[in-house]
Amino acid sequence: MNVVFVDPAFPPTQRHFVRALAEVGASVYGVGDRPGEWLDDELRSWMVHYHHVPNVTDAGALTDAVRWIQDKVWVDRLEATIESHTLAAAQVRENCSIPGTSVRTAWLCRDKPSMKQVLRDAGVPTAASTAASNAEEVRSFAREVGYPLILKPRSGAGALDTTRVDDDGGLDAALAVFGGQHVDSIAVEEFIEGHEGFYDTLSVDGVPALDFVSHYFPNVLEAMRTRWISPQFVATNRIDAVADYQELRDLGRRVNEALGIGTSATHMEWFFGPKGLKFSEIGCRPPGVGAWDLYSAANDLDIYRQWADSIVHGQVWGQPSRQYSAGIVALRPERDGTISGYSGVDDIQARHGQWVLDAHLPPPGTPTQPETAGYMANAYVRMRHPDFDTLRGMLDDVGRTVHVYAR
């Protein structure tokens, strides 16, 4: 099978998809916006050819590259695993008659109000939402639904540019910010109170062949706005043992059907609180922030290899062991500037070293990143343990003990 893979070099986890495709027998043709000489020898060894384009989100340029490859070989699949690449990749599939995720599906997974309407029509509970192109439409929704509200760009990913407003004054301030950024349409949603997590699958022909559940501590919006918090997310190994997770699984299948997701990784954000279980954002792509690395370490399974089997062979053979829960705790510097040092690292190694998967501690002199940059932006520690609650306690201990100093 000949597989075109979009942007094999960045972010660093992209190389694992290329490696896995090559390992299961595919001939991989990479297309990316980095010059070929920037790629290391190992990455290049997994590809038959690498094609440089100015911008992988430019559907026209991507189409030209794929047609150039099609002039040489039959292209069986075109795969993109980054949120911002999925719509362009779907448009190229349509232009070049390649099977895979459709334009409709990719568009619904990018356009939040349309996505939520389709889910509600299919009986999947979501927050009340609307698309607004002017301030009066937002204020009308606020009068109907009430505060708090969540505002974000229609095609935004994760918590980036997401704003919570609690009253008319906050709404006016948020609208002024979006206006200053020349955002022409925003998604406006009812704020859902409750615990937040995500449900990820590797689906084949719309049916989850592998699935995983992770929990956020605290919820993402708070984590990405509060410097002193050392946020974490934890993949549980209790998904088969706790009956409450079955509702997630049932709704996940309904999401696939409603959005037309076939053979693809999926990433489904959810909330559970006083109003019950509600789904939030849906992605027809793998999760970010190294979540698949945690799933692999927790389950004695190479998730990238299973994904490649689903693409090349139409099935997966591995199954998760559920032996461990695994998680990451992000460690923020005390202030903006450059990292000057750490404390508490030796203490954590002494107490929990056998359960540490890896740690990223940028050397002194490294510029700091803002808390909005995410869980892997500065320092972090990743761990696993057979017991979910014990792991949570260890991650909390890391967050309390390890300090990142900046000047």
Q: Which residues pair with 404 in a beta bridge?
A: 333, 342
Question: Is 327 in the same domain as 214?
Answer: yes
User: What's the rounded Cα separation, in Å, for the pair 320 and 298?
Assistant: 8
Confidence of residue 112 (pLDDT cuts 50, 70, 90): confident
Instruction: Decide if 105 is inside a domain.
Output: no
Question: Is 397 in the same domain as 349?
Answer: yes
Structural domain including 13 reads 2-100
Percent of the chain's residues with pLDDT above 70 = 99
Q: Residues, the chain, total?
A: 407
Instruction: State CA 383 to chain mean position distance.
Output: 19
pLDDT tens readout for residues 197-230: 999 999 999 999 999 999 999 999 899 888 899 9
For residues 331-335, average pLDDT: 93
Q: End of a domain among 171, 190, 209?
A: 190
Question: Is 164 in the same domain as 211?
Answer: no
Going by C-alpha positions, the residue among 215, 279, 223 that lies closest to residue 247 is 279
pLDDT tens readout for residues 373-386: 989 999 999 999 99
Instruction: Decide if 265 is inside a domain.
Output: yes
Question: Looking at 86-90, 142-146, 304-308, which range is the least confident one?
Answer: 142-146
Q: At what angle do helices 86-96 and 59-70 cross, to 10 degrees?
A: 40
For residues 314-337, average pLDDT: 96
**DSSP character at residue 95:** H
Confidence of residue 155 (pLDDT cuts 50, 70, 90): low
Question: Is 235 in the same domain as 358?
Answer: yes
Rg (CA), the chain: 21
Q: How far is CA 373 from CA 51, 222, 226, 368, 377, in A?
A: 30, 13, 12, 10, 6
Q: How many domains does the chain have?
A: 3
Question: Is 233 in the same domain as 365?
Answer: yes
Question: Is 244 in the same domain as 381?
Answer: yes
User: What pLDDT shows up at residue 160?
Assistant: 53
pLDDT tens readout for residues 246-303: 999 999 999 999 999 999 999 999 999 999 999 988 999 999 999 999 999 999 999 9
Q: Which residues pair with 59 in a beta bridge?
A: none
Question: Is 183 in the same domain as 297?
Answer: no
pLDDT tens readout for residues 187-199: 899 998 899 999 9
Question: Is 157 in the same domain as 290?
Answer: no
User: What's the rounded Cα separation, in Å, for the pair 77 and 336?
Assistant: 44
Instruction: Decide if 33 is inside a domain.
Output: yes
Range with the largest mean pLDDT of 103-117, 139-153, 171-185, 345-359: 345-359
Give kind and range of the element (H or E) at residue 350: helix 345-352
Question: Is 163 in the same domain as 201?
Answer: no
CATH classification at residue 55: 3.40.50.20
Question: Is 205 in the same domain as 170?
Answer: no
Cis bond before residue 218 (omega within 30° of 0): yes
Q: End of a domain among 83, 100, 117?
A: 100
Instruction: Decide if 354 is inside a domain.
Output: yes
Question: Is 85 in the same domain as 180?
Answer: no
Instruction: Decide if 116 is inside a domain.
Output: no
Question: Is 249 in the same domain as 317?
Answer: yes
User: What's the rounded Cα separation, in Å, for the pair 124 and 35?
Assistant: 44
CATH classification at residue 161: 3.30.1490.20
